[in-house]
Amino acid sequence: MSGSVIKSIVAIAVLALFGGFGTYLRGHQALPDRPPEFEQIPYSLDEYMGTEERFEQYAYDVLKADTTTLRMYRNIEGEVFWLFMAYFSSQKYGSQIHSPKHCLPGGGYKIQTIEPYDLDLGVGKNIRVNRLLIASPRRKEIMVYWFETRSGVISSEYGLKLDLMKNSVALQPTDAAICRLTMPLALDADFDEATERMTEFLRKLYPSMTSSLPFSE
C-alpha cells in the first residue's frame, strides 16, 4: 500500500472521528441548572435610581437571547448610565452572542476608539473589558462591554469562542452573558474622567450582576 493511500485513509479516519464526536456533542448538550435572575439587580442603589426600559422588538428578534434586561440609571447629578445584559442558555445553533463591534455600525454608531481596559472594581477585583468611544450624528457615548461565562470574565470575541469549545468538549453548559454599560457624554467631555465615573457606578452594581447569573457560586 503506497504512502499516499495510507495518508488518505488516515485523513478520512480523522475526519470521521471528529465528525462523529461533533454529532455526539450536538446530541449531548448540557443544560444550565437554573435561569438567570436579573431581578436580583437592584433598581435603587445609593444615589442611583433605575428603571426598566426596552429596545424596539426587532432588536430582540435579531439578538435571540433567552433573557435580557435593559436598565437606565440616573444619579442625583443627572448623569445617566445604561446597563444591558443578555443571557444565552446555549451558544450553539444560531444563538451565538452578537458582538457590539458588529451591531453598533448597523445601529448608526461609529466606533471612534476601541481598546482593552482594566477596570478596578475594588477589594482586589479587576476585570478586563473593552472600552469604546462611540458617536452618532447627535451624540457620543462611552461604552464598556465584556462576557461572563462559567470560566469567568472574557473580554474578546475570540476568547469567547475558545471558551465555547472548551465547555462543549467537557460536556459543560455553554451558557454565557454579554454585559454592556453605556454613558452618554457631552461633546467636550474628558474620556478618562467619564471612565472613572462609570467605574464608580459599576463597583456598586457588579456584585449583584454576577450573582444574578446561573454560573455564579
Give the per-residue pLDDT at 185.
92
| pLDDT higher than 90, residue 29 | no
From residue 104, alpha-carbon distances to 4, 24, 93, 157 in Å are 50, 36, 23, 15
Cα–Cα distance, 197 to 96 (Å, whole number):
31
| pLDDT higher than 90, residue 199 | yes
Please name which of 204, 206, 103, 195 lies closest in space to residue 148, comparing C-alpha atoms. 206
User: What is the 8-class DSSP label of residue 99?
Assistant: P
Summarize pLDDT for 125-153 with one digit per residue, the tens. Answer: 899 999 999 988 778 999 999 999 988 99
Q: Could you tell me if 179 and 146 are in contact, meaning their C-beta atoms sit under 8 angstroms apart?
A: yes
Give the per-residue pLDDT at 19.
42
Name the 3-class secondary structure at 53.
coil
Q: Could you tell me if 141 and 184 are in contact, meaning their C-beta atoms sit under 8 angstroms apart?
A: yes
CATH of 31-211, one of 3.30.1600, 3.40.1000, 1.10.8, 1.25.40: 3.40.1000
For 213, list phi and psi in degrees, rounded to 5: -90, 150
pTM more than 0.75: yes
